[in-house]
Structure 1
Amino acid sequence: MLARPLDEEIGGHFGHYIRQVPDGDVLAILEEQGAEALSLFRSLPEEQGDYRYAPGKWSLKELILHMSDTERIMTGRLLRIARGDATPQPGFEQDDYVAAAQADKLTLAYLIEDYAALRRSTLLLLRGIPEEAWTRMGVASGVNMSARAFAYVVAGHERHHLNVIRDRYLGTESAY
């Protein structure tokens, strides 16, 4: 089981996401979250993908795309740190990524399939990280972080956005 990162392994705003992850095996949590997210996403009709809960907010398709983009970026950071790459990694502007992706031109079905493939890839990557690599430190977005901290960021970021989808896009109670 991958231990929760220590305070000195967490920098900046990332702690917000890490604190949302319940105790337990983060790899099992990510696997369960993936199944839960896919079940939720697959229950949505295609036309709901364009829904925005308020003017100026992302559509549901944009939010799902954002979740995938962020997972790719965070696992890329994790991989580089775990492999001993000491090159500082830049931040990214999420709104610019969403705008450039043009999610409105993609189907909800495509975004769901992309998410499913990504989560499978994430789990395969994480299961292959050597034990001693999890506590390696690196710089991303101007803060020092461990490789394992980014596994928790992925889980916490997803948890946050699944709650947003339930609460603001679907108007249902959060499961968490």
Structure 2
Amino acid sequence: MIQRPTENEYPAYYQPYVSLVPDTDLVQLLNENLQETVQLFESISEIEGLFRYAPTKWSIKEVLGHMTDTERIMSYRLMRIGRGDQTSLSGFNENDYVVSSQINQLPIRDILDDFIATRKATLTLIHNMPTDAWAKVGVANVAEITTQAIAYIIAGHAIHHRTIITERYLSIM
């Protein structure tokens, strides 16, 4: 069973994401979160998908691509650590990933479909994770982290970025 991680199970910089996750069944939340994300991004046109609320900020399409990249990486970490792999896993620079993706050239529907596929793979991984795997500790980005903390970070990260889209992008378009 996935428990809310304690603050010593993950680096402090993940606290904003973990704090966004309500006390509920995490798998149910991830499913609901998927539906809310689909509804949000299905309402955004191709032109709106290129909108940036400031010149140095990512476009809406880039935010969705970043959400997908991050979930894919965090799910990989969840799998490796949950399976007991003690290899230190490297970090990643999200800005480099966004620039290298050239995601603004893709239709928003394709980007959303990639997020959907990634979330469904995350849900399958979580569903099939053995109970004893949730407390396992590994190292990612030079910091110790538990499998259950990663699951909460995945959920909170998506909530965080959906909130930003709603509050900082759609509110001024």
TM range (shorter): over 0.9
Distance 1:11 1:24 in 2: 22
User: Per-residue CA shift, 1:89-140, capped at 9, x if unaligned?
Assistant: 1111000000000012111111011111111111111100000001000011
The 3-state SS of whatever aligns with 1:13 is helix
Give the partner amino acid of 1:15: Q
How do 1:12-161 and structure 2 match up within 5 A? 12-161=12-161
Give the partner amino acid of 1:4: R
User: Per-residue CA shift, 1:124-174, capped at 9, x if unaligned?
Assistant: 1110000000100001111111001000000111111000000011018xx
The 3-state SS of whatever aligns with 1:16 is helix
- Structure 1 residue 35 displacement after superposition: 0.4
Distance 2:12 2:143 in 1: 6
Q: For structure 2, which runs of at least 5 residues remain unmatched after alignment?
A: none
The 3-state SS of whatever aligns with 1:156 is helix
**Conserved in 2, the CA contact under 8 Å of 1:134 and 1:148?**
yes
TM-score, scaled to structure 2? 0.96
**Conserved in 2, the CA contact under 8 Å of 1:12 and 1:143?**
no
- Consecutive aligned runs of 4 or more in structure 1 exceeding 3 Å deviation: none
The 3-state SS of whatever aligns with 1:111 is helix
Q: For structure 1, which runs of at least 5 residues remain unmatched after alignment?
A: none
- Structure 1 residue 12 displacement after superposition: 3.4
Please identify, of 92-101 and 110-119, the stretch whose mean Cα deviation from structure 2 is larger: 110-119
Corresponding pairs, count: 172
TM-score, scaled to structure 1? 0.94
- Structure 1 residue 25 displacement after superposition: 1.1
- Aligned-CA RMSD value: 1.1
The 3-state SS of whatever aligns with 2:139 is strand
Distance 1:133 1:29 in 2: 20
- Structure 1 residue 8 displacement after superposition: 2.2
Please identify, of 24-33 and 128-137, the stretch whose mean Cα deviation from structure 2 is larger: 24-33
User: Per-residue CA shift, 1:12-71, capped at 9, x if unaligned?
Assistant: 311221111111111111110000000111111122111111111100000000000000
